[in-house]
A = this chain, B = another copy of it.
């Protein structure tokens, strides 16, 4: 496995120069575009990593998976999907257009609107408490007390006017429950959670193990809930490139503009890759290439 991971990194490196780090906030813009890392966790508890797998990065939209996991655990799947849909949006993840045509209901949990709507359902009066619920569950899974990158969080909060617009717009349609600003701020905080590849792969491992965390033997979610989450990652996980990711990599995945991608191979493994250089659609070029290599090399695609 180690040699495969090394080969994957090597195959991906030449593409890094074609990407750009996220520019919408200074804290992300300072990232090093040459970084590249990958970690694999197996249900037997073993894990493997290569490159910058120990470098921390903010998980950004990958947090949407864990917000969804947290909400399903607290409220059950039905209550969550009263608020958000199951379909790919066909629109940019930040768009308000579709929300207007569809009475404020987010198409799926992985566009910004969907994650904020779900954040509004989480238990806790303040965004700080809600973040603790989300991050607490993740900390248990990956074995370290996670925290947010305050610099990134502050930037997101101060410049997040588009997301605030999305929040108030959903409130108009009664999709957001309770205080809009709490929901939006919970979202900003979740996006700012800092992790390494290895921690991220560990946190996602239960999704490749039918809902059970192999380390603690604890059932995190029912198998049918896992089935839904992995399905949604498949159809909606890679922004406007989810279809192409399914063709080229062929497993459920979720990306973030911090440069991470979490990939789930049901029954087999979880993989987290990281590289801050992004393509035009906001996905990490390096992480994608690493995953594409691993999928081809190990025959991971679900569709072949």
Which A residues lie at the B interface, using CB under 8 A?
Answer: 85-91, 95-101, 107-108, 161-162, 164-169, 171-172, 180, 210, 223-224, 226-228, 230-232, 234-236, 240-244, 246-247, 250, 252, 266, 301-304
B-side contacts of A88, CB under 8 Å:
87-88, 90, 235, 242-243
> What is the total number of copies of this protein in its complex?
4
User: How many whole Å from A169's CB to the nearest CB in chain B?
Assistant: 4
Contact B246 A234, beta carbon cutoff 8 Å: yes
Q: Are A240 and B87 in contact (CB-based, < 8 A)?
A: yes
Q: Is the CB of A172 within 8 A of B161?
A: yes
Q: How far is the CA of A171 from the CA of B160 in the complex (A)?
A: 10
Q: Please give 16 more A-B residue pairs, beta carbons under 8 A apart, in addition to A161-B169, A165-B168, A234-B234.
A: A86-B247, A87-B242, A88-B243, A96-B97, A96-B165, A161-B168, A161-B171, A162-B168, A165-B165, A165-B167, A165-B172, A227-B303, A228-B303, A231-B250, A234-B246, A235-B242
- Closest chain B residue to A95, Cβ basis: B100
A44 to B181: give the CA distance in the assembly, Å: 54
Given A100-B97, A243-B108, A87 and B87 contact (CB-CB distance below 8 Å): no
B302 contacts A302, C-beta separation under 8 Å: yes
Does B244 contact A87, Cβ atoms closer than 8 Å? yes
Look across to chain B and name the residue whose beta carbon is closest to the beta carbon of A180.
B161
5 closest A-B pairs (Cβ-Cβ)? A90-B90, A230-B303, A165-B169, A88-B88, A231-B246
Most buried by B among A88, A223, A246: A246
Measured between C-beta atoms, what is the minimum distance from A22 to chain B in Å?
Answer: 16
A-B contact pairs, 10 of them (CB 8 A): A86-B243, A87-B88, A97-B97, A162-B172, A165-B166, A227-B247, A227-B301, A231-B301, A231-B303, A234-B235
CA distance A164 to B234 in the complex (A): 33
A166: which B residues are within 8 A, CB to CB?
A: 165
A210 to B89, CA, bound (A): 30
